[in-house]
Amino acid sequence: AQSVTQLDSHVSVSEGTPVLLRCNYSSSYSPSLFWYVQHPNKGLQLLLKYTSAATLVKGINGFEAEFKKSETSFHLTKPSAHMSDAAEYFCVVSERDTGRRALTFGSGTRLQVQP
């Protein structure tokens, strides 16, 4: 069985400072990992994905994440926060080696960006 734990339900940063959103996963198979972002009253947008190629993954809007198998982590980072980054972020794991191909979502981290 697979699971995802997002270690912080809320993160608050000042504009221009670094962002770190933490995610740990558990998977019986070779995982695909994703970060999705959801702005208020909107659908989910893919930020980036890891599918067993490079362990450092670059996404949209300056975000990146590093897959660390030894730590079972996939933390999301950005060097400098922007006001438009305020949203909810979901870490997601996929069962790549099973027929269902469903995603398991973390409970989300709400990012606040202070001016």
**Residues making contact with another protein (CB under 8 A):** 9, 32, 34, 36, 42-46, 49, 51, 90, 94, 96, 99-103, 105-108
Measuring CA to CA, which residue among 81, 79, 77, 80 is closest to residue 68? Answer: 77
Least separation in angstroms between residue 68's CB and another protein is 21
Residue whose CB is less far from another protein, 14 or 46: 46
Residue whose CB is less far from another protein, 15 or 22: 22
Least separation in angstroms between residue 80's CB and another protein is 27
Look up residue 99 and give its DSSP letter: S
The identity of residue 92, as a single letter, is V
Residue whose CB is less far from another protein, 24 or 105: 105
Least separation in angstroms between residue 9's CB and another protein is 7
Please answer whether residues 85 and 113 qualify as being in contact, where contact means their C-beta atoms are separated by less than 8 angstroms: yes
Residue whose CB is less far from another protein, 15 or 105: 105
14: phi then psi, degrees, rounded to nearest 5 = -90, 150
Least separation in angstroms between residue 3's CB and another protein is 11
- For residue 64, how many other CB atoms are within 10 A of its CB? 16
Q: Which two tokens stand for residue 70?
A: 């030894």
| Pairing outcome for strands 32-38 and 87-94 | antiparallel
